[in-house]
Amino acid sequence: MSKQELVVLGQDAEGCCPTLLSAPLDEDQAAELAPVFKALGDPVRLRLLSMIASREGGEICVCDLTPAFDLSQPTISHHLKLLKQAGLITSERRGTWVYYRLLPEKTDRLAAILARPDSASPLPRDKQVGAAS
């Protein structure tokens, strides 16, 4: 892992491993991460990413993504472009079709940033996302 990647993860070069919950991001780190979270902030893009990530074989053709949505092909392509610009996916053109793959190094970095220092124990029910108050 490069020194720059360690900084994005909130780590120093000696291997200390603070997360978002144990050390605040500096301005540069926040500016680098914001576009990624913005890309994930749209329900269509989040569904697209999950469809790509969960596909057996690790990749999926755009021809298999488009029918899952009540959106035009150009709109789906726009959402995929934003996910690609955020560094979450990559693509490869094969003839007429484009195939998409998850970039696990980016999603793994996001997971590491968001991890709780003691992630072995689950959040209490009242602290879980979507839990009734």
63, pLDDT greater than 60:
yes
Residue range 15-44: mean pLDDT, rounded = 82
Q: How many beta carbons lie within 10 A of that of residue 124, not counting itself?
A: 8
One-letter amino acid at 12 equals D
Q: Which of 91, 81, 87 is closest to 104 using CA atoms?
A: 87
Extents of the domains making up the chain = 3-115
The second-level CATH assignment, the architecture, of 3-115 is: Orthogonal Bundle (1.10)
Q: How confident is the model at residue 2 (pLDDT cuts 50, 70, 90)?
A: very low
For residue range 37-53, what is the model confidence (pLDDT) as tens digits?
A: 999 999 999 999 999 99
For residue range 73-88, what is the model confidence (pLDDT) as tens digits?
A: 999 999 999 999 999 9
Residue-by-residue DSSP string for 52-108: HHHSTTSEEEHHHHGGGSSS-HHHHHHHHHHHHHTTSEEEEEETTEEEEEE-HHHHH
